Chain A
Amino acid sequence: MTSVLYDAPGPRAKRRNALFTVIFLVLLALVAWWVWQTMDDKGQLKWDLWEPFTTSEAWTTYLLPGLGDTLKAAALAMIIALPLGAVFGIARLSDHRWVRLPAAWVVEFFRSIPVLLLMLFANEVYARSGSVGSEDRPLYAVVTGLVLYNASVLAEIVRAGILALPRGQTEAAYAVGLRKGQTMSSILLPQAVTAMLPAIVSQLVVIVKDTALGGVMIGFTELLNTRSTLAANYANVIPSFIVVAVIFIVLNFILTSFASWLERRLRRSKRSTGAVLHEDTVEVNPAAVDGSYGSGAGGAFGGTV
């Protein structure tokens, strides 16, 4: 394998690599042995603790309802945040200062605040106003927090998507006599949406991960929250954490793979303008990084992290 850093290995490099492999393998084995030994000492390997996951009860009572709530909150947040983000993203590109600036302030403000603060605040506002029943309040608070934060992140994705289109698209639209609104709605936006799809799916991963905050901090019954009920019932802290982590990994891995499949597919398609946004290429920093799309010199401002 050749890369920027090294050539295909010769005989000496091969020997050295073999040595490194052995050393690294020993280190890994030591760590694995320690983990296994400690788990054995603390009785976390006993089949009793793992056995519940082979029964349907643990799944139907705890894990699946939790996963359902996680997905529900994530889906609601995405569905509400997407149009909101599109509105703000387009507003930031407006020719009118009085539209552009307030939109920019709102977006920058909500992007620089941790999503947990937004959730806590929404939760308290709903609790005091009494407009939301106490049953639904955690879900409402989680979705509100996620929408406020992710709408502003999506606004940047939309903006980047539109800016990534070749200027000729706008110029050609004006040349054939379209108005600004028509250019946006029938030329730029349709192309930008396809270019943005991978980045939007990647943002879904962030939303799914952030729902877990609501589980711990405001009692939303998502997966991490139902895990603690499950662990209290079967006294299997470590196994339940491992199972929940695996569920999250599988779920997010599917989303990530879908995003990169979309990206590859869009890059291949001949009709597109070649502008495809990846999660990493969305530059969201106000004083953005050198913005060559596709070079990887971008990074989602808190978006992917």
Chain B
Amino acid sequence: MPSSYATHPEAREIVFDFLEGYDVLGAFWMTVKLTALSALGSLVWGTLLAAMRVSPVPLMRGFGTAYVNIVRNIPLTVIIVFTSLGLADIFGVTMGAPDNFDVQGFRLAVLGLVAYTSAFVCEALRSGINTVPVGQAEAARAIGLSFSQVLRLVVLPQAFRSVIGPLANVLIALTKNTTVAAAIGVAEAAYLMKEMIENEAQTLAIGAVFALGFVVLTLPTGLILGWLSKRLAVKR
């Protein structure tokens, strides 16, 4: 098809005319930025939560459990809308950008996504630690390894390897969840699609372009990380 467009430039104009005046790539770049920053943030906060949930201190375990169970059961939309209407407007949390509403909205969206996604990261990590048979740690302790050695040499290497698959799924879900940021006006892919689909005639073509964008973003992640997790899986 592209070759025929090259020989008939007017054909390309008719077909892709609806893209004119819209920054589709820019919108998807925003989606990627939201995903990357939120992924980083939720990896850090999720790891801390997981550490609390498996810690020997009952209070921390309780906090971790409560956090995960509460946050997992609230719709992400409620959280994201709350960051804008509640955190920013009432609590005055402006994320260091009180005047620039674009930047503020972006940072609030990342905050909401991190708060939500880290609950799932925590559960993925915890299930990873739980897949390590107790016998492994007992054997390690029996031959005289210290706590940090048990963790560093025996438990964590096995846990990390079994956790890649679940974490990949969380990352893919996060990529799709960034569209919720459109609810507070962050100009990412879904926001632009809503604008375009309401103003342009080619509903189907617009839908296809954005759908394809997300397939391109999520499919390789799933394939690469899925292959990696299979390769690294601990055979038991």
A82 to B172: give the CA distance in the assembly, Å. 23
Taking CB atoms and an 8 Å cut-off, the chain A residues in 33-67 that contact chain B are 38-39, 42, 44
Complex partner residue of B227 from A38, A42, A287, CB under 8 angstroms: A287
A234 at the interface (CB under 8 A from B): no
Contact, CB under 8 Å: A117 / B214: yes
Complex partner residue of A116 from B59, B179, B236, CB under 8 angstroms: B179
Contact, CB under 8 Å: A300 / B132: no
Complex partner residue of B56 from A1, A209, A217, A252, CB under 8 angstroms: A1
B233 at the interface (CB under 8 A from A): yes
Contact, CB under 8 Å: A248 / B124: no
Stretch from B3-11, B13-21, B104-112, B192-200 contacting the other chain: B192-200
Main secondary structure, interface of B, reads helix
A248 to B74: give the CA distance in the assembly, Å. 6
Number of inter-chain CB pairs below 8 Å: 229
Binding site for A on B (CB under 8 A): 54-60, 63, 69-70, 72-78, 81-82, 85-86, 89-92, 117, 120, 123-124, 127-134, 136-137, 141, 147, 150-151, 155, 162, 164-166, 168-170, 172-174, 176-177, 179-180, 182-183, 189-190, 193-194, 197-198, 203, 207, 210-211, 214-215, 218-219, 222-223, 225-227, 229-230, 233, 236
Contact, CB under 8 Å: B179 / A249: no
A253-270 Cβ-contact flags toward B at 8 Å (1 or 0): 100100000000000000
Main secondary structure, interface of A, reads helix
Taking CB atoms and an 8 Å cut-off, the chain A residues in 92-134 that contact chain B are 108-109, 112-117, 120-121, 124-125, 128
A285 at the interface (CB under 8 A from B): yes
Complex partner residue of A215 from B73, B77, B82, CB under 8 angstroms: B77
Contact, CB under 8 Å: B226 / A288: yes
A170 to B203: give the CA distance in the assembly, Å. 46
The 4 closest A-B pairs by CB, nearest first: A289-B165, A287-B226, A305-B173, A290-B233
Contact, CB under 8 Å: B165 / A299: yes
Complex partner residue of B54 from A2, A3, A115, A296, CB under 8 angstroms: A3
Q: Quote the shortest CB–CB distance from B101 to chain A (angstroms).
A: 17
